[in-house]
Amino acid sequence: MSPVLRVELRDRIAVLTLDRPGQLNAVGSETVDRLTQALNDVRDNDDVRALVVTGAGRAFSSGADLGEIESFTTPGQFRAFVGRLTEAYALLVDFPKPSVAAVHGFAFGGGLELALACDLRVAERGTRLGLPEMKLGVLPGAGGTQRLPRLLPTAIAKEMILTGEPIDAERAWQLGLVNEVTEPGGALAAAEALAARLAAGAPLALAAGKRLVDHGLGMDLEAAIGYERETVAVLFCTEDRIEGLKAFRERRPGDFRGV
């Protein structure tokens, strides 16, 4: 049986590929377990500096596995499933290494929520992104109602959540949800190129930069600036900061070691 999620190491990048093309990469319990394990493994691999998340076949992901959900007989089973999905996506949000979603075809429901859990997103022209749960009489349950309004204007996020209608990659780029739009077939290469640029940075500074943005958004401005000041002071004491200044003076890329 082929894995539901493949992990490939390419230079300093780990490419995580949802690999259920026959099911349009629907996210079920097995995928959640593999994603959690993969993230834990990559976290401990010092040779990996950035992640790319993508999907095999003609779509990024159709969302949560409806076949599995339909097998549930109690609300508790569904609650447990959503809890595991939410925890896996939270690992990605809090991951110390930056992540890029390479989206093609469509990313719906839990698939879009996975892309939202990544730091950056690249999408192919014509890709559709949406949270269609309202059309099934429910709502997104793995962060969609909370992460989407933090990335889009509130009214646009409400429109997507309350109507269940998707937007295309071009509009997503105009709204700032997607960082780059490529021609069909180009999302993975573009995401890997972007991840390579991220991987060239100092690991401690990359992790700190993610924390400053994500946590600072939940603080008042004065507290957030204080948090920034203390974080930068800690980074000043690292060997990578010394290497960065030396590399700048010598007009060469920095050889950062994460210390």
- Determine phi and psi for 139, rounding to 5 degrees: -140, 160
For 84, counting Cβ atoms within 10 Å of its Cβ (0-12 exposed, 13-18 middle, 19+ buried), the class is middle
Catalytic status, residue 113: yes
DSSP string, 148-169: HHHHS-HHHHHHHHHH---EEH
- For residues 11 and 47, the answer to whether their CB atoms sit within 8 Å is no
CA–CA dist 257, 259 (Å, integer):
6
Q: 124, 133, 180, 192: which one is catalytic?
A: 133
- For residues 199 and 138, the answer to whether their CB atoms sit within 8 Å is no
For 47, counting Cβ atoms within 10 Å of its Cβ (0-12 exposed, 13-18 middle, 19+ buried), the class is exposed
Q: Bridge partners of 5? A: 18
CA distances from 24 to 57, 116, 148 (A): 7, 18, 22
Closest CA to 244 of 235, 236, 256: 256
Q: 113, 124, 180, 192: which one is catalytic?
A: 113
Catalytic status, residue 183: no
Helix (H, G, I), strand (E, B) or coil at 52: strand
Amino acid at residue number 77 = Q
Name the residues annotated as catalytic: 113, 133
